[in-house]
Structure 1
Amino acid sequence: MQKTALITGASSGIGEAFAWQLAKKMDIVILVARREDRLKKMAERITATGGRARILAADLTDRAGLQQVVNYIEENRIDLLVNCAGTGLYGQVSRTDPEEEQQMIQLNVNALVRLTRAVLPQMLERNEGGIIQAGSILSFYPSPYMSAYAATKSFVLSYSEALAAELRQTGVKVSVLCPGSTESEFAARAGFKQSRTSSAEQVARIAIKGYEKGITVITPGFFNRLMSQLPRFLPRRLLTRIMARLFHNRN
């Protein structure tokens, strides 16, 4: 039986890196993103290097686009779902675009949950398969000027950890990836400057290895792992002040 991975956000950044690396491990990868032209080029390059890829151009912030991907999942075998599609929003809550904020919540939270729920029945029936969710180092922190984004990623972390516990006695694995700053289009779209970044390829490679080992929360890099533990020792009020200083005037 051929093994299939479906990756959302596959046209750039960490999602694209996942697609390249999983194309070497799986029989076929399904590439999901809005930009059909980039997906076509990726599929052609994957095929040229001996892999197999199909594309599914869909906007997951749109109800019809999300349903298109849900239908595909429900009608086809998926062995690994990588929920990597996501976007950010930088600025004071009172000054950011509320419609853009709603689209971010739809993509980072609602679409992720909907696709997870779509793939679970078939995986549980086979008693095998897995899901990798894209969180963030900000999953661990209240983050002024990235308030809604950090909140969506906190949801992803909590949801994924709880789901992993529910599925522990089954053959279905769930991992949540919580990277720090990573080279991608993400920061430019969100509207803030990044310092010290990891490569998307390195982050995806660490995530896949962690998933294969059954690690639930995967935080690449010693510094990021240290940062993920600070909320256990510092008061929330102090953490929030630190994050406010960190993200103030980053555009």
Structure 2
Amino acid sequence: AHKVVKELKIEAVVEVNSIGCKVCRPAYRQALTQYLEQVAGRLCEDCMDRKDRNPLRVLDCKVPTCRSAVKDAPKMVDFLCEECRKHYQKLLEYLNIMGIPYVENPNLVRGLDYYTKTVFEVVSRELGITIIAGGRYDYLVEEMGGVPTPAVGFAVGVERVAMLVKELPQRQPLYMVIPLGEDTVSYALKVCELLREKGKRVELSYKRAGLKKQLELANKLKADYAVIVGEDEMKEESVSIKNLHTGEQVKLNLKELFSHVL
């Protein structure tokens, strides 16, 4: 989402929060409901209805009196269970590794119970409105009758984005960064961001499989290059880059990589 607005040259800020899970959310909901009862006289008519039915939505109200009333409300991050707390810390760690600027917004919520842990919005600096919104919803597939399935995604306000786009970027070669093993993911994130700083189109492979399967994924996504990161590459601060059109593969240190892709 951040890369979308960056490539379109839209000035925006990423806001992020965690809304916990079924384990820790009930205690927070109770604390928030008790707080809202104390400030009920300052809430708008809609929020008076929400405070018992869906109290988290009160935090997201744009009415000035409601925003003032919830200023000192309990924060979900203070109620997170151990699993959700570690997940949120890891999320922020990855954002820092990737160099994505963000603001923690404790009042950022979702009104649907299938959302879990991460919620985020991309807010236009020019318009002061949300143009992309998303999060994690691990309960959605299960609530629709499927098996428990981790899920994450976002929606784009196409009309709002169109208002802000001044010119469209040209198509550039696609680099698929492939980490081999869980221990190399942090280094792979670093490589992704270094490539993006050079203006390159980059995808990170989230498939935890052998190299052959990941190269199949890269070809399916029509990547031009596979940037392979294993334990040896991580130790040497290098990468193996494979041209997916010619089959040629070379091993380069990071400095050589950027000379190679310029």
> Structure 1 length normalisation: TM-score?
0.22
**More strand by proportion, 1 or 2?**
2
Structure of greater Rg: 2
**More helix by proportion, 1 or 2?**
1
